[in-house]
Amino acid sequence: MKTQSRHDEMMSLAARALQHFEHQTTDLAPDIMSQPVAAYIDLARYQAEREGIFKQLPLALALTLELPSPGDYKAMTVLETPIIIARNQTGEVKCFLNACRHRGSRLCDDGCGAARVFSCPYHAWTYDAGGALIGRYGAETFGEVDPADFHLTELPCAERCGLIWVTLTPSQAMDIDAWLGDFAVELDTLALSDWHLHEVRVIDGPGWKVTLDGYLEAYHHNLVHGATVGQHTVGNLLVLDTYGPHQRLTFGRKTLGALSDQAPADWAPADHIRLIHSCFPNLSISGILGDHCLVSQIFPGPSIDSTQTIQFVLSARAPATESDQQATENFSAMVLQAVQDEDYRIGFGIQESILTGANEAFVFGRNEPAVQNYHRSVARFMADLGRAGAE
């Protein structure tokens, strides 16, 4: 585990970014990398990766602040899998498939709420927040059953770093500490549980890899985001740190050059750099402005050319004034425009062009090391699954 203080680490990141700014450089991969377009459009490959990666690995499916109290729950459908995440009366979070053990009816609609029990709308079999069967309508005429045999089907679940992690395959073991490794220290610095949730929305996007590629580089910022987030960040400048498959991207803010005229003792590094925490395979946490944060979950859609992005717009605190409220709404509008109208608009065009045969492969430059790392991680996990299946 790291022993460097947070301030020292931010100072180091600012110094690395400033050096790039002064020399018009960026962190580089050892070489250019090519990826065949089949990685984006081959249906069998897509289905295998979707099942192997998104259903076998831990996914951050909720924020802790969405379930602040015992009895709170969040129901959602992820990759056609209906689930309920619930905080029981002792404060522990559990996750189970949203399917009654009698005949499979959904216990509740997707959404957030508070409930002491979940009652099946079909035959009123009733479960507590831990998934235990605690009641049955007409039990005396139905016949004897052992409630232990009809517990809701649990999914591996853990709460770390202000996030609730779930694996969508019931039999798949989860070791969240091993999965996150030292990246947990980085996520903890964000103190996600202390933020205020302003808004949640869903955005339709292009295919999974086309979409994720755009979250992992600053090469496009000046050209694509000049009217939005590009106003605040330096294009084609990236400081990259990797933690297994997870990555921390550091961008320079437009004020970064001011540090050249200041003694390091006078630096306020957080004012001059922007951090993005990218957790494999589909989570991006972006501190675009100091008092606001954007959390994005990118889920492959049912078709190879579609995704759904769940965006959480956070503010450092609940708005206390009309000015605070307006600042948060302005931030929300800016990031929506940047993602939906700028990134995803181009992404849909890329998705269409793939089918024309214009390219046999896509090329990732040395200045796109995080994109390269992502694709290598996909290949590595699929190779590991292949070896495990052969044993």
pLDDT digits (tens, 9 = 90+) for 14-33: 999 999 999 999 999 999 99
113 and 186 together in one domain: no
pLDDT digits (tens, 9 = 90+) for 193-241: 999 999 999 999 999 999 999 999 999 988 999 888 888 899 999 999 9
82 and 48 together in one domain: no
Per-residue pLDDT averaged across 275-297, rounded?
A: 93
**Percentage of the chain modeled with pLDDT above 90:** 91
50 and 104 together in one domain: no
Q: What are phi and psi of 308, to 5 degrees?
A: -125, 130
- Cβ contact 118:82 at 8 Å: no
Tell me the pTM. 0.95
Residue ranges making up the domain that contains 330? 6-56+182-390
For residue 126, the model assigns a pLDDT of: 98
187 and 50 together in one domain: yes
52 and 63 together in one domain: no
16 and 87 together in one domain: no
Here the CATH number for the domain that contains residue 88 is 2.102.10.10
Q: Is residue 287 part of a domain?
A: yes
Here the CATH number for the domain that contains residue 239 is 3.90.380.10
Chain-wide mean pLDDT for the chain?
95
Residue at a domain's end among 173, 194, 229: 173
pLDDT higher than threshold 80 for residue 107: yes
Q: Measuring CA to CA, which residue among 61, 103, 101 is closest to residue 81?
A: 61
Residue at a domain's end among 131, 153, 173: 173
Contacts with 250 (C-beta within 8 Å, 6 or more apart), sequence order: 13, 16, 17, 238, 239, 240, 241, 273, 274, 275, 276
26 and 140 together in one domain: no
pLDDT digits (tens, 9 = 90+) for 170-180: 989 999 999 99
Overall domain count for the chain: 2
- Cβ contact 160:176 at 8 Å: yes
- For residue 31, CA distances in Å to 28, 34, 110, 250 come to 8, 10, 45, 21
Q: Is residue 1 part of a domain?
A: no
pLDDT digits (tens, 9 = 90+) for 137-164: 999 999 999 999 999 999 999 999 999 9
255 and 353 together in one domain: yes
43 and 103 together in one domain: no
47 and 67 together in one domain: no
Q: Is residue 117 part of a domain?
A: yes
Of the pLDDT bands very low, low, confident and very high (cuts 50, 70, 90), residue 185 is: very high
**Which stretches of 161-244 are assigned E, i.e. beta strand?**
163-166, 196-205, 239-243
